[in-house]
Amino acid sequence: MADPRFFTRSGPLSLAQVAEIAEAEIVGCERDPSHVMISDVAPLDSAGPGDLSFIDNRKYVEAFTKTNAGFVLVNTALVDRAPEGAVSLVTKAPYRGFALVSQALYEGGQPQQSEISDAAHIDASATIGEGCQIGPGAVIQAGARVGAGCVIEPNAVIGKNVEIGENTVVGATASLTHCVVGARVLIHPGARIGQRGFGFAMDPRGFVKVPQLGRVIIEDDVEIGANSTIDRGAGPDTVIGAGSMIDNLVQLGHNVRLGKGCVVVAQAGIAGSTQLRDVDAGSGVGGSPAMDQRTWLRQMAMLAKLTEMEKARKRGEEEKP
């Protein structure tokens, strides 16, 4: 169970409610699902009789067959492996169902309370929407516009004329400048958005900085990881497409354009002016310089093989009289 000091659970849900949230079909329950209660979510190996778990990967079949979970989200292919005591909730997307039920149990019951700290520094010309939470030490500069229901955590800095949509969260000490941010965006602590890009003309007399005259546009439902950095454009804007997920310590250079739903893992860097758009379903890249992932794995295997051959050859030479 989640540590109640840090997480607030909103009360049990009935099996019927859980099945509806997860878009799943109940299998193996003889009682009225409106009267069977589910109190928590947990992984297969630690879940108990009142808990919901899930399996979406054959790798975990053994844990599944041994689980004490009272309820398990499972796809059709694995449902016959369910242990006796467990009620199956059959769905094509067990992990998605688990995510939605977890949200309902832990995030659903928290009504947003407007709370603007006296110790926040909000310029008189800034506009703050209804129901915002603004922490102590947060700075909101002249002309900035913060939409309704936003959370601006302590010591975050919102620069001049920055625009933020509804229900967006800006993490502790994050800084935003020269940017327009959509709704339901989640910006983690220490992220840096909109600072000038790395642009200068090289010259024997000394580098000459090129003013970076673009912005950062962050569309709706984006997540930006802790301490990630997104530079503003040099002229055109830097754009992060709707629903993109960016992990921690990621660098996005000036003029980068991510399409919708891009996923960028931790510590990845995307060089200035790169565009990420649709790739073929299931495709992937690897290596440095980047290449098709299978080609890269094949090259790595080749290298290993050659090295082994060379070792064998040397051993052969050494053994010769």
To the nearest whole angstrom, how small is the minimum distance from the Cβ of residue 31 to a copy of itself?
27
Nearer to a copy of itself, 215 or 257 (CB): 215
Closest-CA residue to 174 (of 186, 190, 158): 190
To the nearest whole angstrom, how small is the minimum distance from the Cβ of residue 129 to a copy of itself?
18
Nearer to a copy of itself, 32 or 263 (CB): 263
Q: How many helices (H) and strands (E) does the chain have?
A: 4, 35
Nearer to a copy of itself, 85 or 287 (CB): 287
- Name the phi and psi angles at 83, rounded to 5: -70, 160
The DSSP element (H or E) to which 19 belongs, if any, is helix 15-22
To the nearest whole angstrom, how small is the minimum distance from the Cβ of residue 229 to a copy of itself?
4
Active site residue ranges: 254
Half-sphere exposure of 313 (CA within 13 A, CB side): 6
Rounded CA separation 177/36 (Å): 51
To the nearest whole angstrom, how small is the minimum distance from the Cβ of residue 73 to a copy of itself?
11
Nearer to a copy of itself, 204 or 321 (CB): 204
Closest-CA residue to 81 (of 49, 58, 52): 58
- Please answer whether residues 172 and 156 qualify as being in contact, where contact means their C-beta atoms are separated by less than 8 angstroms: yes
